[in-house]
């Protein structure tokens, strides 16, 4: 590794907040196959195997987190939630945040075709960096780093997924019990533009089932749907009890 390259690797380490014991691992993680192919005579290893390993490490860390956070979710729900967190877009976004594209070793063809900005290439590079971190510093260290890096994606995915899940569940119960779809009506909107609060009512027919509050319309609908699930569940149990008595 040249002195200039070592300076580059050290600069990226500081951005990532990770000090590698074996800096050649990070260098390898940033070496695209196009560069290795052009330098075939030098037998330079590319990052494809590291990409494979990094994907597996990341999937395990996020899967473990989701299973612990959502013990009642089905395998299908967990898979959808994980896919909304670990995908090309989120990986490419993280690569851009830390400027990983600037440190990639690319062949001339990839360089001229804008490879440093390609989402797929950036996502693959980030997975390779994960693998290098795992091999160099171990699983627990890597897990701590990744959970911090992915925290914004995890929180957003939790919100979007539960919002969808609660509303879907309310629709199913409403159709089952009342043969009609629920509707959401904004009851109030208060506060200044920079700090608004919303209250939404969930109606089935003309009957108000539940209300929800939040800092956005979506959040207030989500809250109303969550409360409605509990209320409709009790209604369903009561009706089943009456049927058994009859």
Q: Which residues are catalytic?
A: 55, 127
- DSSP E strands in the chain: the ranges are 183-190, 197-204, 207-214
Cβ atoms of 92 and 19 within 8 Å: the answer is no
d(CA 218, CA 159): 10
Q: What angle do CA 239, 244, 246 make, to 5 degrees?
A: 95
What would the two tokens of residue 125 be? 């590079």
Cβ atoms of 170 and 228 within 8 Å: the answer is yes
- Residue 216 CB: number of other CB atoms within 10 A? 12
């Amino acid at each position: 590794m040249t002195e200039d390259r070592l300076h580059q690797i050290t600069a990226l380490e500081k951005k990532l907040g990770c000090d590698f014991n074996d800096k050649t691992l990070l260098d390898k993680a940033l070496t695209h196959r196009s560069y290795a192919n052009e330098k075939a005579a030098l037998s330079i290893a590319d990052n494809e195997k590291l990409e494979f390993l990094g994907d597996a490490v990341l999937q395990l860390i996020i899967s473990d987190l989701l299973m612990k956070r959502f013990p009642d979710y089905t395998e299908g729900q967990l898979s959808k939630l994980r896919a909304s967190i670990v995908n090309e877009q989120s990986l490419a976004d993280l690569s851009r945040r830390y400027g990983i594209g600037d440190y990639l070793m690319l062949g001339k063809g990839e360089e001229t075709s804008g490879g440093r900005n390609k989402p797929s290439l950036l996502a693959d590079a980030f997975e390779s960096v994960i693998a290098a971190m795992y091999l160099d510093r171990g699983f627990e260290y890597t897990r701590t780093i990744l959970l911090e890096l992915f925290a914004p994606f995890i929180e957003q995915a939790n919100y979007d997924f539960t919002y969808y899940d609660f509303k879907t569940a309310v629709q199913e119960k409403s159709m089952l019990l009342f043969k009609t779809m629920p509707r959401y009506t904004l009851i109030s909107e208060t506060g200044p533009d920079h700090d608004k609060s919303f209250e939404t009512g969930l109606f089935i027919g003309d009957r108000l089932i539940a209300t929800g509050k939040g800092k956005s319309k979506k959040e207030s609908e989500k809250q109303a749907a969550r409360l409605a699930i509990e209320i409709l569940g009790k209604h369903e149990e009561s009706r089943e009890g009456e049927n058994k008595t009859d």
